[in-house]
Amino acid sequence: MVLVAGGVGVLAATGYLRVAIRTEPVLALLAALLLWGLMRFLPGLKAYGIDAVRDFALVYYSLFAFFTAAALARSPGILERLIAQLGRLMPWLLIWLPLDLLLEPLAVNAPNVPGTSVRILTHKPGNAAIAALLALGFLWLFPHGRSARSRAVWSIMALVVIALSATQNRGGLLGAAADMAVGLAYFPDRLRLILRALLVVAVGLGIATQLSLAGPATGSQGRAFSASQLLANIASLGGANEEGNLSGTVQGRDVLWSRILHKQESDKLVIRGSGFGPNLHTQVGVYDAGTDATRSPHNSHLDILARTGLVGLLLWIAVWIAWYWHMVAGCRRLAQRGLHARRQVAVLCLMVTTAILVSSFFDPQLEGAQVAALLWTIFGVGVAVTSFRGRLGDRTDLHLAAAGPDPRFRAEPGWREL
């Protein structure tokens, strides 16, 4: 529904989208990826119908990036409202997320979402970790309006959510580490923050391990919500063999990934890919073969290669290299011009995007709207907030300079000068 609304909005004001694409090469690259994906989608639409549409979500959710860039070109004040609304939503989000994770084992007895076979309490731990990382980054990048004690309490809540998620999903754990590494690179007093974070984590894990703290039930994969499970997951990242199904899931993914790549080679589809519609699991006989429960390789980046071939993968890599180059250079220019509030928004975009891209190596997150819509919206926000070309950058600067409802912006050094 949001994509349809965005499409109607662009049709009503196409000039803003044209300006964004013309002035920002990274959006032109993304348009090329979308066009190539469309070319690989159309043949499968006739053969596979709705399955091709489902698989094509991996690419068409990138429309959110174009719609966001066009919307910010049309109404730059949206950015300030987004930040203000995120600040109001953040406490409620951090209250709900731990409940979300702990209630997930009860999903088997919960009613279905109307019109689907999905239980209403079904939530992916990796998605919860991404949401907690967004909240944690916001807390430290936009501290104004909250006391140090309040920030500490909500930060601990976010870390608890990340820890609970990490007991169930190692991709989220690696994503969290990458997210924090990127964020710390932009903090002036990073050493002190690292020491504080390590102290909090060490003390928390030590107490939880000594008291044998554990949740009342296990997760959907049979892993406990416990400190010992978290330590086992961390150890398994270094190649240690642990009890449970940790080694099994790693080996299963290795088999799945290698078989999919081998089939691409044997079918001579390495260049153009299999297209959208075929069930990659059924084709190679791994995991949920014969069903539609899982259709992708449990790796969104490998899914790009499998569906769109080397052409699509090279475009995918080019898009992200160009985006990171644009963002890093933009953050540097924003700092030089004293535009600290906009720079903080850009850093938050960098942090969350990095977490999503890393965790997507182990989880098909970009095939679903819960994470893909967030990623591509952040992509568009990042391009807009670091832009200094033409109408998009100028209007965003001028509008953000106006006195708005959110005091966090006006409290930033350099805000009045802007």
Q: Dump the DSSP string for 234-293.
A: HHHHTT---STTHHHHHHHHHHHHHHHHHHHHHTT-TTT---SSS-HHHHHT-SSTTSSS
- Give me the phi and psi of 412, to 5 degrees please: -70, 140
User: Could you tell me which residues come within 8 angstroms of residue 371 by beta carbon, excluding any fewer than 6 positions away?
Assistant: 126, 127, 130, 356, 360, 365
> Is the Cβ–Cβ distance between 400 and 414 less than 8 Å?
no
Whether pTM exceeds 0.85: no
Distance CA(190)–CA(149), nearest Å, equals 19
Distances (CA, A) of 276 to 58, 118, 266, 296, 373: 9, 23, 18, 10, 19
Residue 96 CB coordination number (10 Å):
15
pLDDT tens track, the chain, 418 positions: 888 888 888 777 777 777 777 778 899 999 999 999 999 999 888 888 888 898 899 999 999 999 888 888 888 888 888 888 998 999 999 999 888 888 877 777 778 888 777 778 777 888 888 899 899 889 888 887 778 788 888 888 888 888 888 777 777 777 877 887 888 777 766 666 666 666 666 665 555 554 444 555 555 565 666 666 666 656 655 555 554 444 445 566 677 778 888 877 777 878 888 888 888 777 776 655 445 566 777 788 888 988 898 999 999 999 999 999 999 999 889 888 888 888 889 999 999 999 999 988 888 888 888 899 999 999 999 998 988 654 444 444 434 443 333 444 444 443 333 3
CA-nearest of 342, 343, 337 to 80 is: 342
